[in-house]
Amino acid sequence: MKKSIFECTILRLCKIHNCAGNITIVEGQKNIPFDVRRIYYLYDIPSGATRGGHAHKALYQLIVATSGSFNVLLDDGQNKKIITLNRPDHGLMVVPGIWRELFEFSSGAICLVLASRKYDKDDYIRSHEKFVNF
């Protein structure tokens, strides 16, 4: 089940420029490799707050900074890497079996998450110790 952080990639999303403003389109199985079953977003995040702090057994996610910026720590139990997201036309695809923590949110940051599955509490690993030993 465990995967490597090196399987998590930045996906460049379709950006259509227009003098009236840009638009980015995300389509499941077209420019991301999974069907989207759930969408949620984080906003009004207090200074110094950390989100995430869990892994998923089967869920794929695309994480996008639609406004502002934040960092994502990826951890596969052996390797760690920090990715800064700050462009609404780039998304971080996180594969199952990766611990993630989101932190250092800029003022006004909005984090959009597209998920491959509906919410399932049994898909979460919420303890880092259990994750490492999974």
Residue pair 62/114 in contact (Cβ under 8 Å)? The answer is yes
**Torsions phi, psi of 123, nearest 5?**
-85, -10
The whole-angstrom separation of Cα 98 and Cα 55 is 5
Which stretches does DSSP call E strand in the chain?
9-12, 14-16, 23-25, 38-42, 51-56, 61-67, 70-75, 80-85, 90-94, 99-103, 110-115, 124-125
Q: Is 54 a catalytic residue?
A: yes
Amino acid found at 17: H
Token pair of 108 as six digits: 């006004």
Half-sphere exposure of 111 (CA within 13 A, CB side): 26
In the set 17, 54, 56, 90, the catalytic residue is 54
**Residues labelled as active-site residues:** 54
